[in-house]
Amino acid sequence: MKTSDKTESQSDIADSELPLDVVRHDGSPSGNKPPCRRRLPRFYLLAFVPLLLFTGAVVGIYVQPPALRYFLQVTGLKPGGGTNNPIAVPVEQTVKTEPEQATIRSVVALGRLVPEGKVITISPPFGAGDARIDQIKVEIGDRVERGETLALLDNRASLESALASAEANVALQRTALEQIRMSIGAGLGEAQAALDRATAGEALALRDYERMKTLKDQNAISQSELDQASAALSQSRKDVAKAEATATRFTSQELETQPDVAVAARKLDAAIADLNRVKHDLARGIVTAPVTGTILDIYARPGEKPGAKGILDIGNVQQMTAELEVYQSEIGFIVVGQHVELSADPLTTSLFGIVCEIGFAVERQTIVRDDPAANTDARVIRVTVKLDDDSSKRAARLTNLEVTGRISVEDSP
């Protein structure tokens, strides 16, 4: 019994030291203390919050219940919209289709630089004959306006003399016309006076005749005296008719339509026409600029007779162009507006421009490469390239420079 009591006493002490009530196997509490339960920490559930949130997020992403869908529809939000790499959500991705790249190549052609409108060679005027240069009024590089005098020929003195003679003839014919007009006016006055005088003589002769006839009836005069009075009356009537005819010649037409006036007026017209011809001939001794441009070169000097090259060259170097000779097999790739790059040995940098004109005629190539094997009998079409402002300034002093042009052409793939 002592052993049993000792064991129970040790068991009671051990149970009293535990913080929890110990229930024995038979269901009765140890000692006199009430039964106790094991308590867990107060915040142990916080460990499950992340797990619950993660689980809800997964369910919302993959299942998307009706309430969540309605919320997204009302708010306008989109699952995964806040990230660049959304997950578990079908993302509409725009597929960018790369345009088919065209193969860009260049058509290479030889050409030369020329002013806009090309170079104009000034020759002696038509009809100058063997005239020689008397004066050159310009120098190379001078810019001239259209109609400005460029040179004078030595036939100008004789042409000026002919002009003076023609002007004097016009003045003479004009004076003659005025004289005839005044003469006709005076003749009209004389004719009117003669008519008045004849009319008065007719009236006097008629009175004499009637008086003589009365005296003859009274046998106071002889028959011969009556016949003389009758003859005087007849002559006076003829004088009146002549005077009327003369006056009618002046009064039947206007002054300008009078025959003498008309003849004098036509002579004056002929003199004026001759004066105009002489003035036109005077241009045979003066060389003028047909266009506005810059003097590029002078081939004749005072005292020389102009040769086959003419007197001088003029061109509008303010706007330069390039004439390229494109092979007829490649002309189909060329269109107006294409960009062109021009290069040459004297140029430190390339010139640039655009195609502005394509020729209509197939010609024989005039510019060839230095390569001995180059084709010298090719058929080409001229393509005109208009240089931009900066290139025109740099090429203004390079007229006829041979260049190589590269025309940018796009071929369909």
Digit-coded pLDDT (tens) for 286-304 = 899 999 999 999 999 998 8
List residues bridging with 339 in a β-sheet: 354
Q: Would you state the pLDDT for residue 195?
A: 77
CA distances to 335, 350, 402 from 339, rounded to whole Å, are: 10, 13, 19
The SS3 of residue 96 is coil
> What pLDDT band is residue 237 in, cutting at 50, 70 and 90?
confident
Q: Would you state the pLDDT for residue 18?
A: 45
Span of 7-16, 126-135, 270-279, 300-309 with lowest mean pLDDT: 7-16
Mean of pLDDT values over 91-117 = 72
295 φ/ψ angles, rounded to the nearest 5 degrees: -70, 120
Q: Would you state the pLDDT for residue 13?
A: 46
Mean of pLDDT values over 348-368 = 91
Q: Would you state the pLDDT for residue 368?
A: 77
Mean of pLDDT values over 218-233 = 82
First to last CA, the chain: 114
Say which residue the tokens 């003076």 belong to.
Answer: 164
Mean of pLDDT values over 58-86 = 67
Q: What is the rounded CA–CA span in Å between residue 156 and residue 153?
A: 6
pLDDT digits (tens, 9 = 90+) for 245-274: 776 766 656 666 677 788 888 999 999 999
Mean of pLDDT values over 74-79 = 68
The SS3 of residue 333 is helix
Say which residue the tokens 């008719």 belong to.
Answer: 241
Q: Would you state the pLDDT for residue 34?
A: 53
Q: Would you state the pLDDT for residue 1?
A: 45
Q: What contacts 14, CB < 8 A, 6 or more positions away?
A: none
Pairing relationship of beta strands 312-327 and 379-387 according to DSSP bridges: antiparallel
Residue 413 pLDDT > 50: no
Residue 284 pLDDT > 80: yes
Q: Would you state the pLDDT for residue 312?
A: 94
Q: What is the rounded CA–CA span in Å between residue 288 and residue 314?
A: 11
Q: What is the rounded CA–CA span in Å between residue 322 and residue 341?
A: 11
> What pLDDT band is residue 2 in, cutting at 50, 70 and 90?
very low
**Residues 132, 153 contacting (CB under 8 angstroms):** yes
Closest CA to 340 of 102, 101, 109: 109
Residue 83 pLDDT > 70: no
Share of the chain above pLDDT 70, in %: 71
pLDDT digits (tens, 9 = 90+) for 311-320: 999 999 999 9
Which has the higher per-residue pLDDT, 369 or 5? Answer: 369
Closest CA to 363 of 380, 378, 375, 377: 380
CA distances to 114, 128, 396, 400, 401 from 346, rounded to whole Å, are: 16, 41, 14, 13, 9
Mean of pLDDT values over 346-370 = 89
**Residues 111, 323 contacting (CB under 8 angstroms):** yes
Residue 22 pLDDT > 60: no
Q: Would you state the pLDDT for residue 82?
A: 60
If you average pLDDT over every residue of the chain, what do you get?
A: 79
Q: Would you state the pLDDT for residue 263?
A: 87
Q: Which H or E run includes 13? A: helix 2-17
